Amino acid sequence: MELSPQILIGPLLRQRHFSIATAESCTGGLIADLITNVPGSSEYFPGGIVAYAYEAKVSLLGVSWDTLHTTGAVSQETVIEMARGARKALNADLAISVSGIAGPGGGIPEKPVGSTWIGLVAPDGEWARHFIWQGDRVQNKQYSSEAALQFVLDYLEGKIT
């Protein structure tokens, strides 16, 4: 049986003495929920911020209005700014962020339903990944959360440079 990323990241974070914070939009706290389902996660998870509206992204995470108006909430630029903000606000070593269009509405040709950006900010770099999920709203939230945790695991296992 394959272990899920949220199980695997804990020992790797502890080994490095790293903490991780979350900044979530479309997943509504699901990433934080998955992390905190693991016993002992309080050792490396100081918290997360759910910032659904533009105003929350700006006031809680420091995302720039210019970024939101220029690239939109579902963009590489926004998720990087979200992760930077969570990392700073929660004094964490790493931060993972997600913003997407869970559906069933809200999509446009350039950003269809299921379009999701995930950002990761660490002491040694900033990265983003883009996905277009094909599920319903609940499935898209689940896929995004799992992909975010896999992104963290890939980083901790040295698979991102």
Which residue ranges make up each domain of the chain? 5-156
pLDDT tens track for 53-98: 999 999 999 999 999 999 999 999 999 999 999 999 999 999 999 9
Dist CA 19 CA 46 (whole Å) = 7
Residues of the chain with pLDDT under 70: 1-2, 161
5-156 maps to CATH 3.90.950.20: yes
Q: Where are the alpha helices (DSSP H) in 37-109?
A: 54-61, 65-71, 76-89
Looking at residue 110, what is its pLDDT? 87
CB–CB of 35/41 below 8 Å? yes
Looking at residue 95, what is its pLDDT? 98
